[in-house]
Chains A and B, each alone.
Chain A
Amino acid sequence: MSAMSEIPLPQTVKRAVPWWLLRHETMLAAILIVALIGLGALNNRFLTIDNLLNQGRLTTEVGLIALPMTFIIITGGIDLSVGSIVGLCAIMLGYSWKSFGFPLPLAICFSLLVGAAAGFLNGIVITRVKVPPLIMTIATLALYRGLAEGISQARSVRGYPEWFYFIGQENLFGVPAQLWLLLIAIVVSAIVLDRTTFGRTLYAMGNNETAARFSGLPVDRAKLIIYTLSGLMAGLSACVLVSRVTTTRSDMGIGYELDVIAAVVLGGTSIFGGVGTIWGTVVGLAMIQLLKNGLALTGVKGDATIVVIGAVLILSTLVASSLQRRREGV
């Protein structure tokens, strides 16, 4: 749990309701449950094991990127280039295997390395030159997407060996294979954020970076790590995506950054930094994916689903903001 929530409420503010019920994540989870029941009532195919597991498969690609994005947003930063890194890594995977003759396992490692390097470039410029994260990653959003387009010249790559499709298309113990990957990443991220000094450092940076720096915390190194991690996870997401759809194109990952940020913010992470949890992000991811799926099964066109998600995003932030203000007694 976040550091702030561990602080007991002032004695003068006694409440009949336990503090944990007022947490954003809890309320969001309650809304999610209500939405699930509602959507389940509308369509009997929605609340089936097969459907829910399949949604887990579809959520993984955005989910893998949303975890390090939570770290970044908690520090008050942002990374808009993740979608483009997915595209670039997918292209590098395909081209290193097909054009450069890399064995596929080596090509996979190479694309992960490209993702990490892309994230590292973001981090190094943000920390050394002090370019604001929003601007830096807008620049690299164009740069990395541009590199993907330039290298591929809009040609696609296909014909990967059968074993490569396992992670994207098969099940392991009855659960989609990539969902296991996401679950592992969730647990590791939550532990790092909640139980390590590194995680505390991120919260400190988000609350007051100058104070954190003067307290001796390794602010620049932490930034470098989280942006590099963001690139690496985008590369991993690219591999999962290619495995699922069996082909590589330069336009892969377009728009991912908005889905990722929506999930993180919906989950209660403050865009200003200092507040947020991995569990909030997980609930946010589930909310968005299940809304999309439930509405689709009900017959609502995909475009209208986007409208609903946009409205939910604003309303949930409004509710969270109101609660936050009430709790602070403003």
Chain B
Amino acid sequence: MTAVTLTGAEADPRRRLKVLASQEALLAIAVIGLAIAVGLDNPRFLATRNLSDVLLGNAYIAVAAVGMSMVIVSGNIDISVGALIGVLATISGTLAVNGAPIVVAWLAALVAGILVMALQGAIIAYLRIPAIVVTLGMLSILKGGLISVTGGKWITDLPDNFHLADVELFGVLPVPVLLMILVTILAALWMRYSASGRAIYAVGGNAEAARLCGISQPRTVVMVFALHGLFAGAAALLYATQLRVIQSTVPPNLELTIITASVVGGVSILGGVGTVVGSTLAAVLIAEIASALVFIDVSPYWIRAVQGALILITVIADILRRRRMAGA
């Protein structure tokens, strides 16, 4: 469901309930509710530093999830994004270490991301190979290529000004968090209010009907994947700059974490439904849960089980809720 903007004069009980029933509202409530609940048990969870660290450390997942949401809304899927983020981070870091201007190193990651994803989008759209097969193959190529080229060596001695994550605007707002918010807002507006953004929903919902309306399905798919590549590039920069070194391996299971954020955020895997706001909130919720478990003394080895259960519960609740609303 798309979140509805209301003014006081227009609000009526039925519409207000619908807003509260949207996935985005539920996620926002869950984020706040969890923070309050854990904070009551252990006040240190609510310390500014911890909340800031939760957002800071996971902003790159939220940024990548914005692009993934678009891809899934278009009726496709991408499981190569984790490997791509690893590759782009390495490209950027290598350029920076070898003396390239910082801006060039950053731009290289963005451009390379767009090109790789646009290529995949073109293969999927024009050669009509299923997205899961193309991205599965690309995952292997990127992952194997990354390790082969780097030989497993880490990138160290990065220039100080390379570290985007260290910059804080107004002394309190870290750049990764700002970028996360900015990307989400811009993408949400574009998806909702532009013709090309609406085309993504049309193609994902019913490709044949979209074609008959004059929307070019192949071009839309390539555009979506290119944008996804751009966001993956941005995510790679955040990922690369938050530590002092860049490991030349693919972050394990990163693509599944990103897909999880998108789906828990309310995007339908069948295409045509969902917003990017939901995926950002879901990414924050997932990060918050991992942090919360530590504060209530649960063994970190159980984190993945809890996250899996969360996905399960959220997805089942979402589907049951949609069914009830459809029946109403």
Q: Could you list which residues of chain A lie within 8 angstroms of chain B, going by C-beta atoms?
A: 78, 125, 129-132, 134-136, 138-147, 149-150, 152-154, 254, 258, 261-262, 265, 270-272, 301, 303-314, 317-318, 321, 325
Complex contact A154–B301 (CB within 8 A): yes
| Complex CA distance for A270 and B142, rounded to whole angstroms | 24
Complex contact A271–B147 (CB within 8 A): no
Query: What are the 7 A-B residue pairs with the smallest beta carbon separation, nearest first?
Result: A146-B305, A310-B140, A143-B308, A306-B144, A142-B308, A146-B304, A139-B311
| Complex CA distance for A308 and B299, rounded to whole angstroms | 40
Q: Which stretch, B59-67, B126-134, B184-192, B206-214, touches the partner chain A? A: B126-134
Min distance, Cβ A301 to any Cβ of chain B, angstroms: 6
Min distance, Cβ B130 to any Cβ of chain A, angstroms: 4
B312 at the interface (CB under 8 A from A): yes
Contacts A130-B319, A131-B319, A146-B304 known; A314 to B137 CB distance under 8 Å? yes
Contacts A142-B304, A321-B128 known; A132 to B270 CB distance under 8 Å? yes
Which chain B residue shows the least CB distance to A139?
Answer: B311
Interface string of B290-316 (1 = CB under 8 A from A): 000000000101111111110110011
Given contacts A142-B260, A310-B136, A321-B127, 10 further A-B contacts (CB under 8 A): A138-B311, A142-B308, A146-B304, A262-B140, A301-B148, A304-B145, A307-B141, A310-B138, A311-B137, A314-B137
Complex contact B315–A131 (CB within 8 A): yes
Complex contact A141–B256 (CB within 8 A): yes
Contacting A306 at CB < 8 Å: which of B143, B305, B308?
B143
B139 at the interface (CB under 8 A from A): yes
Contacts of B311 in A (CB 8 A): 135, 138-139, 142-143
Contacts of B138 in A (CB 8 A): 310, 314
Min distance, Cβ B245 to any Cβ of chain A, angstroms: 20
Main secondary structure on A side of the interface with B: helix
Which chain A residue shows the least CB distance to B143?
Answer: A306
| Complex CA distance for A265 and B270, rounded to whole angstroms | 20
| Complex CA distance for A304 and B137, rounded to whole angstroms | 13
Contacts of A303 in B (CB 8 A): 143-148
Contacts of B104 in A (CB 8 A): none
Complex contact B308–A258 (CB within 8 A): no
B259 at the interface (CB under 8 A from A): yes
| Complex CA distance for A301 and B143, rounded to whole angstroms | 13
B77 at the interface (CB under 8 A from A): yes
Complex contact A143–B309 (CB within 8 A): yes
B29 at the interface (CB under 8 A from A): no
Q: Could you list which residues of chain B lie within 8 angstroms of chain A, going by C-beta atoms?
A: 77, 123, 127-130, 132-134, 136-148, 252, 256, 259-260, 263, 268-270, 299, 301-309, 311-312, 315-316, 319-320, 323
Complex contact B308–A146 (CB within 8 A): yes
Min distance, Cβ A127 to any Cβ of chain B, angstroms: 12
Contacts A142-B307, A307-B148, A317-B133 known; A150 to B299 CB distance under 8 Å? yes
Contacts of B302 in A (CB 8 A): 146, 149-150
Min distance, Cβ B270 to any Cβ of chain A, angstroms: 6
Contacting B316 at CB < 8 Å: which of A131, A141, A311?
A131
Min distance, Cβ A67 to any Cβ of chain B, angstroms: 19
Min distance, Cβ B62 to any Cβ of chain A, angstroms: 18
Complex contact B315–A143 (CB within 8 A): no
Min distance, Cβ A210 to any Cβ of chain B, angstroms: 14
Contacts of B303 in A (CB 8 A): 146
| Complex CA distance for A135 and B256, rounded to whole angstroms | 10
Complex contact A139–B140 (CB within 8 A): no
Min distance, Cβ A121 to any Cβ of chain B, angstroms: 9
Contacts of B270 in A (CB 8 A): 132
Complex contact A138–B133 (CB within 8 A): no
Contacts of A312 in B (CB 8 A): 137
Complex contact A146–B307 (CB within 8 A): yes
Which chain B residue shows the least CB distance to A324?
Answer: B128
Complex contact A262–B148 (CB within 8 A): no
Contacts A143-B308, A145-B304, A153-B301 known; A125 to B316 CB distance under 8 Å? yes
List 25 interface pairs A-B (beta carbons < 8 Å), by A numbering. Answer: A131-B315, A131-B319, A132-B270, A134-B269, A142-B307, A143-B312, A146-B308, A146-B309, A149-B302, A150-B302, A254-B252, A271-B132, A272-B130, A301-B148, A303-B147, A305-B144, A309-B144, A310-B138, A312-B137, A313-B137, A314-B133, A314-B134, A317-B137, A318-B123, A318-B129
| Complex CA distance for A143 and B77, rounded to whole angstroms | 21
